[in-house]
Amino acid sequence: MSLVVYNTLTREKEPFVPVDPAHVRMYVCGPTVYDYVHIGNARPVVAFDTLYRLLKRHHPRVTYVRNITDIDDRIMVRAADNGETIEALTNRTAAAYSADMRRVGALDPDVAPRATTHVGEMIELIARLIARGHAYEAEGHVLFAVPSMADYGRLSRRSRDELVAGARVEVAPYKRDPADFVLWKPSTPAQPGWDSPWGRGRPGWHIECSAMSAKHLGETFDIHAGGLDLIFPHHENEIAQSRSAFGHAFMARYWMHNGFINVSGEKMSKSLGNFFTVHELLDQYPGEAIRLLLLSAHYRQPLDFTHDGLVQSKAILDRWYGVLRGRATAAAPGVPDGVERALLDDLNTPLAIAELHALATPQHAAELKAGGAALGLLQVDPEEWFRWAPKEAAASGPTDAEIEAAITARRAARAARNFAEADRIRDDLKARGIVLEDSAAGTSWKRG
């Protein structure tokens, strides 16, 4: 069994062959940290976290880099609006991002580089592009000369001419070619900036990923991933920068892109305002339910976001944890074949989930847990899972001790065949969000 991935560069599924078999390297574009991320931003994190886990099972060494963009005009605007420093804003938001991503079950990347600590590398890269005739200085800006690259546009399958013809924005007068893009731009004294050979300024959007991937992964590497909307211009321009600077035939061998989360058929986005932040969702649903929902559609397909979908995901996890409950199950060694086979086929997580359903029986509990691990699921103690409650209910609902006391009282009532009282206790708990389940072994409960 070997991994096959869909490569945006060729628009085909291809066998995954690492550049260096001893060391697989992947880069995923992370967030611009000016606010809490929405669930759409969490999709690539969860999808490619699943890929990271898979790669680690099949290769001796994997390095996963997920960057933090902490210099950007939106950050500058937001910090000014909030009356806080850029550092305070980006530190706070980046910390919230890491915490939220952990709560949806994502492993930490091996390296989480920040743009602001790599400005030196960016300046070096830009200088290199100028020296090689791929970039030029104009009015304090440095621009990448798109016509200097013969096959610019290969990833997004657009020609320079098409881009120019379809352009929706005004072309800055200092550009030699309308398709040229900014590598470095000047800062006013009030704006954050760094000294450079071209004066005090700050980097353009795309250069950071070229600089940071080269530093932490090398001039070429295996997988570069992110959302569909990054294909153009972000990834196209990264390729242009890195290949032109280093002279290689490719930057990353495989380009993987996840589809969008939709709301009522439309892309979830900050500008449309139709988004839910992961942070607020985590008050209402367990992170694991959010993760399962994100994995329940194939990563390249659109996924319609609904609260009902989260409720369903939680119900599925309740069932699976119900199988594990009271069984002190250790995960079986390895990953069940069906699950692994599904994942190796371009991360077919919905099929892997179907395999998990087939394993959701008492006799397969150990495999269920092992299969869950491959998807980053089912790893907490079942009792802990069933004690989870939405933030509000957790604050106002009965404590574990109160529940246990009520169950004891009910057991006494049942023993006395006082079913009216037993049912009253059960209904009372139900009204407070606690569901009781009687079995031969006794009564268990869950927060529902």
Which residue is it, tokens 């920040």? 114
**Two tokens, residue 304:** 């319609």
Determine which residue in the list 41, 63, 67, 90 makes contact with RNA, applying CB under 7 A.
41
Residues 420, 421, 426, 429: is their CA dihedral positive or negative?
positive
18 binds RNA (CB under 7 A): no
Looking at residues 271 to 290 of the shown chain, list those that interact with RNA (rule: CB under 7 A).
Answer: 271
The smaller minimum CB distance to RNA, of residues 58 and 341, is found at 341
Instruction: Please tell me the distance from the alpha carbon of residue 272 to that of residue 314, in angstroms, as a whole number.
Output: 28
361 binds RNA (CB under 7 A): yes
Determine which residue in the list 22, 60, 168, 173 makes contact with RNA, applying CB under 7 A.
168
Residue 152: is it exposed, middle or buried by C-beta count within 10 angstroms (0-12/13-18/19+)?
buried
371 binds RNA (CB under 7 A): no
239 binds RNA (CB under 7 A): no
Determine which residue in the list 80, 99, 354, 409 makes contact with RNA, applying CB under 7 A.
354
296 binds RNA (CB under 7 A): yes
Determine which residue in the list 10, 21, 74, 131 makes contact with RNA, applying CB under 7 A.
74
422 binds RNA (CB under 7 A): yes
269 binds RNA (CB under 7 A): yes
Stretch that binds RNA, among 88-96, 99-107, 119-127, 307-315 (CB under 7 A): 307-315
**Residue 22: partners with Cβ closer than 8 Å, 6 or more residues away:** 60, 61
Min dist CB 135 to RNA, Å, is 14
Instruction: Please tell me the distance from the alpha carbon of residue 284 to that of residue 120, in angstroms, as a whole number.
Output: 43
**Two tokens, residue 387:** 């004690």
Looking at residues 78 to 137 of the shown chain, list those that interact with RNA (rule: CB under 7 A).
Answer: none
Stretch that binds RNA, among 82-90, 92-100, 115-123, 229-237 (CB under 7 A): 229-237
Determine which residue in the list 10, 85, 117, 301 makes contact with RNA, applying CB under 7 A.
301
267 binds RNA (CB under 7 A): yes
Determine which residue in the list 213, 244, 258, 329 makes contact with RNA, applying CB under 7 A.
258
242 binds RNA (CB under 7 A): no
The smaller minimum CB distance to RNA, of residues 19 and 358, is found at 358
9 binds RNA (CB under 7 A): no
The smaller minimum CB distance to RNA, of residues 366 and 435, is found at 435
154 binds RNA (CB under 7 A): no
The smaller minimum CB distance to RNA, of residues 242 and 258, is found at 258
How does strand 303-304 pair with strand 442-447?
A: unpaired
Min dist CB 61 to RNA, Å, is 26
Binding mask 372-411 for RNA (x = CB under 7 A): ----------------------------------------
The answer to whether the CB of 1 falls within 8 A of the CB of 340 is yes
Determine which residue in the list 56, 128, 158, 341 makes contact with RNA, applying CB under 7 A.
158
The smaller minimum CB distance to RNA, of residues 157 and 391, is found at 157
The answer to whether the CB of 108 falls within 8 A of the CB of 102 is yes
Determine which residue in the list 228, 366, 380, 393 makes contact with RNA, applying CB under 7 A.
228
**Two tokens, residue 404:** 């246990």
432 binds RNA (CB under 7 A): no
The smaller minimum CB distance to RNA, of residues 44 and 398, is found at 44
Stretch that binds RNA, among 194-202, 316-324, 380-388, 390-398 (CB under 7 A): 316-324
Give backbone dihedrals phi and psi of 63, rounded to 5 degrees, phi first: -115, 125
C-alpha pair distances (Å), 253 with each of 185, 215, 261: 30, 17, 26
Applying CB under 7 A, the site for RNA has a residue count of: 85
Stretch that binds RNA, among 15-23, 107-115, 207-215, 266-274 (CB under 7 A): 266-274
Min dist CB 248 to RNA, Å, is 23
Stretch that binds RNA, among 84-92, 120-128, 173-181, 246-254 (CB under 7 A): 173-181
